[in-house]
Amino acid sequence: MNELTLRLATWHDSARILAWRNDIETRLSRSDCRSVSLDEHMAWMIGHLAEDSLWIAELCGYPCGQIALDQGGEISWIVAPELRHAGIGHRMLDTALRRFPERKRCRVSPKNPVSLALARSCGFRESCIALNGLLLMERD
């Protein structure tokens, strides 16, 4: 099996990440399903790049998703649309959690059974519903 690796995101990844963030399936899994504007995306990128908290998952050098290390010990992810339902998400999240074991929380839409199953398979359990309607999940 080919090794999945993580590397820090750079400005060169910005257009690809924006496309992933604005993919319809990704948008429908968020609490706010509108498209992310270029200005919003650039501000988000600046923040994550400044904190070294945005990572690109690669399989054989091919970008297959992103991992974001968010405030409060949370982790979030997006699998590249063309690679969904191929087991990449589990490999990405598992790799990220081994690298960043202090990440104990994530937020998942209750309307996204694939991400719910992924989070559960990586040790996350439902905690509560957050104000934005997302399910807060935690792990030991």
Q: What is the 3-state secondary structure (H, E, C) of the chain?
A: CCCEEEEECCHHHHHHHHHHHHCHHHHHCCCCCCCCCHHHHHHHHHHHHHCCCEEEEEECCEEEEEEEEEHHHEEEEEECHHHCCCCHHHHHHHHHHHHCCCCCEEEECCCCHHHHHHHHHCCCEEEEECCCCCEEEECC
Q: Could you tell me the pTM of the whole model?
A: 0.91
Domain map of the chain by residue range?
Answer: 4-103
Find the mean pLDDT for residues 120-131: 90
Share of residues in the chain with pLDDT > 90 (%) = 75
Least confident of 21-35, 72-86, 102-116: 21-35
| Residue 1 pLDDT > 70 | no
Q: Nearest to residue 110, comparing CAs of 23, 33, 21, 31?
A: 31
| pLDDT one-digit tens code per residue, 58-106 | 999 999 999 999 988 999 999 999 999 888 999 999 999 999 999 999 9
Instruction: Calculate the average pLDDT of the chain.
Output: 93
What topology does CATH give the domain 4-103?
Aminopeptidase (3.40.630)
